Structure 1
Amino acid sequence: MYYQVIPTKIFRQTTDPSESLLTYSSPDKPAPGQIVLIPLGKAITPGIIYKSTTPPENLPYKIKSIHTPLNLPPLPSHLLKSALWLSQYYLSPLPAIANLLLPKGLIKNRRKLSEEKNTTKATQSPQDIPLNQSQKTALENLQKIKSHTKLLHGITGSGKTNLYLTLAMEQFKKSHSSIILVPEISLTSQLVQEFQRFFPDSVITIHSKQTEASRHQTWQKIISSNQPLIIIGARSAIFSPLQNLGLIIIDEAHDPAYYQENPPRYSALRLASFIANTKNIDCIYGTATPLIEDYYLAEKNHAYVSLTKRAKETAFTPKIELIDLKNSNSFTKNRYFSDPLIKNIVQNLEKHQQTLIFHNRRGSAPLTICTHCGWQALCPNCALPLTLHSDSFKLVCHTCGHTEPVPKVCPVCSHTDIIHKGFGTKLLETELKKLFKNAKIARFDADNTTENSLNQLYQQIKAGEIDILVGTQLLAKGLDLPKLATVGIVQADGGLSLPDYSSEERSFHLLTQVIGRVGRGHLDEASVFIQTYQPDHPIIQFAIQNDYLSAYQYLLAKRKQGHFPPYFYMAKLYITQKTEQTTIKKIRELHTLLRSEKNIFLSAPTPAFHEFSPSGYTWQIIIKATSRQSLISAILSIQTHTSLSNLRYILDPPSLL
């Protein structure tokens, strides 16, 4: 018998899935999805059986035999279909997609896992999951929707988790498994604990920080299980090889972490919807701030359910005070924290309540310059500004990780007139320690937190051991902080000025999520202080009023005017060369070729937002079309030009930066 096999090693540069399938012979009659070892060149590499086939007659070469099938159940058919769909939808090489389905080190000799002996049963029934009337109505409405992909638009604190539990319980009782996707597994200990209460011994967490051995063991447990499981994990958990998948839930569905930025690129939301359609199951997008495209499609498909009431009867809207950063009279005690905010922090300390200071920039100062000659500290690899980290007194590039000592004199003019401008979370932490010497202050960002320390820090916050938290967007991702009384947003308009079609949308998401950390019913009162240079900006006003619909209509109109999603499909094409002159020459050649394509809108060639990197200079072209096929046809038409071998592209880019 002969079989078409998907190799996990790229052997030719092609995005056509049919050109990546190899034919092998085997007497073992492996099933589709069976994982096998195949000879490829001089190496033995894993492959996945696609289907049986009949090879053409009179081939000029001998068909090789499958080396050996692995003693594992076949991958479920929905993953096999997903691999081909991803390859076609994102124009990615099929072998690169196949690697997403299998754990690293698959063929290493490892300790044999103990066999599953006992059937796991939930210790609590669906009646034990408390639902208020608003949640019950939302559940009924979700169940009425015919579309497989459903948008659950629930405000912060509305109790979406209880709905997730109820839906998963219904599937569990049918012996069906569920996948719960989360943006950051390290910030979801509350969610994991809730599911463990109702599904003891059936919850498995998956995340990128697992060791290769741990990830392999988890994967084998999943593919070998005949019992229903609850898989909770970040983006890659969507590839869990569940034989009996019955439900997919995507929590915080607006989060950019669901898009894989490195090749092979894909959106976990789009893939989850494809799987739901393939398997005839439900896929729930849960979020307080839906993406523009998702809300638009949900309305169009009548697949929208709202949850507008907070779960706790004691929940309330916090008092929100706007502070104009242009008014120096509001900053008499400190240049970073307004007088009303400082006064409120003092009151919180007296009451043993907590304050969250939010600023979405790490480090101490993002700009180091010489005031004498204008020299600026830039990364030698990326040509981007280096950020001062005052605790180590080093300059750090947040793009490539380059570090260097802070110069005592200017390397250009030798003057000592070097200053550090701007501010990040480290500087804010230092300033707070000066203002509140006896307070327990903790910083919560990517510079000082690992997965274990995040959980430990969260437990300290929950226990009231920390008075003031200073953090970036990590703190905005769904945490429930019972002793939190105040949120201070140091500079609310920081992301509004970025030259990107999605910058205002992301700013609205972030502000709404941060404001939603308080007023959840744990305390009698709560306050939010928003410091901004643009107090009248529509996005800031919509966030203050918690008015998603107005924000959506405002942003949707701008998307339509600018020919952006959801009205147009979009792709970013870019070329990188060692010299700027060569890059410009190649990008102009690309632009000329694309001008002959029909049914696409073409931008002029422009430098990328991060034009220079260790690889060279990058320029880009944006193409748009009302049909996805027009984009794909345009990209396929230029792939044959060998002079554009350095061409790269991103379909459905969530950002143009």
Structure 2
Amino acid sequence: MIAQVIVDIAAKQTDRVFEYHIPDELGEVEIGARVFVPFGPRKLQGFVVGLSEISHFQGKLKDLLLVVDEMPPLTPELVALSQALAKQIFSYRITILKAMLPRVMRANYRKILVPLSDKAKKIPFFQGEPVDLSKITAPKEISFVRKLLNNDDAKIEYLVENKAKVKMQNQYSLCLPKEEYIKIYNSLRQNAVKQKQLLQEIITNYSSFPKMQANLEQDAHLTTATLTSAVKKGWLKKATIEIYRDPFATSAVTPQKKQRIKLNQEQRAALAKLSPAIADAQAQTFLLEGITGSGKTEVYLHAISQTLELGKNALMLVPEISLTPQMVTQVKGRFGAQVAVLHSGLSEGELYDEWRRIRRGEVRVVVGARSAVFAPLTNIGLIVIDEEHESSYKQEDNPRYHARDVALWRSKYNSCPVLLGSATPSLASRARAQKGVYQLLQLKKRANNKQLPQVNLLDLKQADFAGGQFDLSVQLVEAIKARLIKKEQVILMLNRRGFANFMLCRECGYVMQCPNCDLSLTMHKDTGQMQCHYCGYTEAIPAVCPKCHSSKIRFLGTGTQKVQEELTALLPGTRILRMDVDTTRRKGAFKRILDSFGNHEADILLGTQMIAKGLDFSNVTLVGVINADTGLWVPDYNASERTFELLTQVAGRAGRAEKKGEVIIQTFNPDHYAIKFAQTQDYERFYAYEMQMRHAGNYPPYFYTVLISVAAKKEQNAAREAFKIKQRLQANLHPATIILGPTPSAISRLKNQYYYQILVKYKKEANLNNLLHQIQDSAQEVKRYGLNIYIDNEPERIM
């Protein structure tokens, strides 16, 4: 038998199938298996993507070296998906295959030096651990290694290491009848305290064995020595077994009662249209457009329940890690141990174990963020994408896939419906629903029949400010105070983290910039650093101007840190929680902050856009948007859509239960249509207006788009290559296709690379896909000259 393998090198020359003979001793090899293969002088990891009886290769095939996993990590569906995606998103197939696995399952390669001659084997240099060449940095050692290689006293070998580790624990089972343990207990001398303690545990909890060592040590206060002695005496039998790391171990999820929440009329009508597609296994797409608080989640849960009753499995995606704890709590509360969760907030071990539970068919429901769309779930009967409009569903780095597109492919493969849900659907999805490509389901009322919160716009050009920072208006602060008196809670959003946006010298006009990017550094007061939010560069906050050494420096602009400090000064004793990238780096931080706020341990939750969607707190009666304009003037065609979505979503966090809600939006642009329509939460009018704007500008969803970016350390090199690509496009595409650029990106330099970009807008262009693949292949050739070419199909950002 012959294995068709994709090897772990992302390059034009290796982006094809290589054939290897399967030796008899490896047994049966399946599609989707991870294998180690010889490749030139190296050993590489690869994935089996096909099997055949015969080969068309003229020479002798090399043998597979090793099958890594007991069960193939990838299903045949995911292998087929990798091939389809490689054609659509201009990424090499191995990159896609690796993206489908948890980080810990990706191979780690090491170059080691191995002695060959007897003389070399006796050198102290080779005694002990293998010599890792990446750790040889001293000039004398480098020279010594070269001499060994030149004299054939040593050779270089390539090690492929599997980082994935199974967690093992000791388990103790009983060897004797209960009566025997009672006899032994009675025969022990009085001072055999530890032995009596163990036997008492066995007799009292006889039926609960076998037990894990950790439980025995914790519950019965036993030591390893006592347990080892018991094994020698024949009282206990010890076994080492695999256990799963539980991401829910520190959180108490209360199972909900068996009776499900009763749906209202609108929810029942939506579910009635979706149910036949689930029952009849139809690959149909539904768009559930429901105002904030209309009970979309309950429709999801009823649809998942129906899917499980039919013996099928369900996949549910949420856009942000911050949403996952609340959504998981609801889903796990309904479906218990049948639920697995996948997102980057888990430890590598937890992610690996959750992934293996899914692959082994031990769970029925998967909830997770973007990459969970690759979960190795089989027999899928329903795919749900919550907040489908979110840009975080698009992967910005290679491979640049959109989770929604992957879900639609899996829907066809599994013959199952996809349910897209949002209060503010993306214009593309809404347009498809308008044309009948998707079926539109609408929820126009809140589930509890409460009114949407009153939204007030506050013009910052005419506002009076509380404090001296010009961030918080008197009106907003008074509204906060009124809520605090009534023991109600407040959510405040500012979509900008840090303390100040930039440092300005009033003497010479110097602005402190990142040395790697064309951006000013942001001040982070809590860490005492100026930080670049793109490349991570940091340096200490200066006391004087680095250029003219004047002490007349100012830190201008605002961020969540500065607002928190100002709130603390204006409202002494108020309990404030801040939720942004800086406060949620640690594992479990999202959940801890949200749980604390949900338990009324804080009065105000202040955060960036991560607090804007999906959160449901019954005691929140006021939502304040500190500056609605942060994303409004970004040089992107969808800036207005993003602003409208964000404001509508965050406004929906207020008044979700019995208490009436209010929203105050501070803005310098109260007459902008995105802000005006967000005030009335009128999605239909915004959709109609924005579609006119898109039509006038020839932008999606009226046109398809592809963004080609060229990066180089020298700006002229990036520009030259970009113009070459444009000439190639113009020579091969129809005149009706619009080619914009090349122009410098909005942020022209990032991480010491200058970026030029070309935007292609088209309606029908049969030649484009092949042409872009040719450009992708040629990128491999120009890379040696320091040029990088990136192709993004249907980009979420054009900057």
Asked if TM exceeds 0.5, the reply is: yes
The equivalent residue for 2:590 is 454
Aligned-CA RMSD value: 2.4
Give the superposition deviation at 1:224: 1.4
Question: More displaced, 532-541 or 301-310?
Answer: 301-310
The equivalent residue for 2:495 is 360
Q: 1:594 aligns with which of 729, 733, 740?
A: 729
**Distance across 2 between alignment mates of 1:129 and 1:351:** 30
- Structure 2 contact 346–587 (Cα < 8 Å) conserved: no
- Structure 2 contact 100–371 (Cα < 8 Å) conserved: no
- Structure 2 contact 31–76 (Cα < 8 Å) conserved: yes
**Distance across 1 between alignment mates of 2:772 and 2:432:** 26
Equivalent position SS for 1:86? helix
**Distance across 1 between alignment mates of 2:568 and 2:476:** 15
Give the superposition deviation at 1:111: 4.5
Gaps of 5+ in 2: 106-161, 169-240, 245-254
The equivalent residue for 1:468 is 604
Percent identity reads: 34
Correspondences of 1:579-618 after superposition (within 5 Å): 579-599=714-734, 600-618=737-755
The AA in structure 2 aligned to 1:367 is: F
Equivalent position SS for 1:266? coil
Q: 1:396 aligns with which of 514, 531, 535?
A: 531
**Distance across 1 between alignment mates of 2:285 and 2:321:** 23
Q: Deviations over 1:308-336 (max 9, x none)?
A: 121113x2222222111111457698722
Q: 1:553 aligns with which of 688, 695, 701?
A: 688
The equivalent residue for 2:110 is none
Equivalent position SS for 1:200? helix
Please say if 1:150 is aligned against 2:150.
no
Please say if 1:21 is aligned against 2:153.
no
Q: Deviations over 1:32-88 (max 9, x none)?
A: 33443333331141412324263226x1x3212222333215733321221111111
Aligned pair count reads 643
Give the superposition deviation at 1:639: 4.2
**Distance across 2 between alignment mates of 1:425 and 1:291:** 28
- Structure 1 contact 38–66 (Cα < 8 Å) conserved: yes
The equivalent residue for 1:120 is none
Distance 1:576 1:75, change over 3 A: closer
The AA in structure 2 aligned to 1:183 is: P
Give the superposition deviation at 1:386: 0.7
Q: TM-score, normalised by structure 1?
A: 0.92
The equivalent residue for 2:615 is 479
Distance 1:271 1:156, change over 3 A: same
**Distance across 1 between alignment mates of 2:91 and 2:34:** 21
The equivalent residue for 2:151 is none
Equivalent position SS for 1:50? strand
**Distance across 2 between alignment mates of 1:560 and 1:630:** 24
Give the superposition deviation at 1:515: 0.4
**Distance across 2 between alignment mates of 1:653 and 1:536:** 29
Q: Deviations over 1:543-562 (max 9, x none)?
A: 11111111111111222222
Please say if 1:54 is aligned against 2:190.
no
The equivalent residue for 1:119 is none
Please say if 1:110 is aligned against 2:166.
yes
Correspondences of 1:478-627 after superposition (within 5 Å): 478-523=614-659, 525-599=660-734, 600-627=737-764
Correspondences of 1:110-129 after superposition (within 5 Å): 110-111=166-167, 114=242, 128-129=260-261
The equivalent residue for 2:326 is 190
The equivalent residue for 2:519 is 384
Q: 2:791 aligns with which of 646, 649, 655?
A: 649
- Structure 1 contact 31–74 (Cα < 8 Å) conserved: no
**Distance across 2 between alignment mates of 1:155 and 1:481:** 16
Distance 1:435 1:242, change over 3 A: same
- Structure 2 contact 284–438 (Cα < 8 Å) conserved: no
Equivalent position SS for 2:698? coil
Distance 1:72 1:282, change over 3 A: same
Equivalent position SS for 2:515? coil
Gaps of 5+ in 1: 117-122
Give the superposition deviation at 1:457: 1.5
Give the superposition deviation at 1:200: 1.7
Please say if 1:167 is aligned against 2:287.
no
The equivalent residue for 2:71 is 72
Q: Deviations over 1:593-651 (max 9, x none)?
A: 22212133211211112211234211111112213644323323434554575322211
Q: Deviations over 1:421-447 (max 9, x none)?
A: 111111111111111112112211111
**Distance across 2 between alignment mates of 1:180 and 1:54:** 41
**Distance across 2 between alignment mates of 1:67 and 1:447:** 45
Equivalent position SS for 2:666? strand
Correspondences of 1:175-574 after superposition (within 5 Å): 175-225=311-361, 227-300=362-435, 301-313=437-449, 315-329=450-464, 335-449=470-584, 450-523=586-659, 525-574=660-709
The AA in structure 2 aligned to 1:87 is: A
The equivalent residue for 2:216 is none
- Structure 1 contact 36–68 (Cα < 8 Å) conserved: yes
**Distance across 2 between alignment mates of 1:490 and 1:74:** 47
Q: Which has the higher contact order (CA 8 A, sep 6+)?
A: 1
The AA in structure 1 aligned to 2:532 is: C
Question: More displaced, 340-349 or 104-113?
Answer: 104-113
Q: Deviations over 1:372-409 (max 9, x none)?
A: 21110101111311111223332111111111122222
Q: Deviations over 1:172-202 (max 9, x none)?
A: 1222111111112343323222222221211
Distance 1:514 1:630, change over 3 A: farther
**Distance across 2 between alignment mates of 1:256 and 1:14:** 33
Q: 2:61 aligns with which of 60, 63, 66?
A: 63
The equivalent residue for 2:251 is none
Q: Deviations over 1:256-307 (max 9, x none)?
A: 1111111111000100011001110111111111111111112221511111
The equivalent residue for 1:2 is 2
Give the superposition deviation at 1:338: 1.7
The AA in structure 2 aligned to 1:214 is: E
Distance 1:628 1:389, change over 3 A: farther
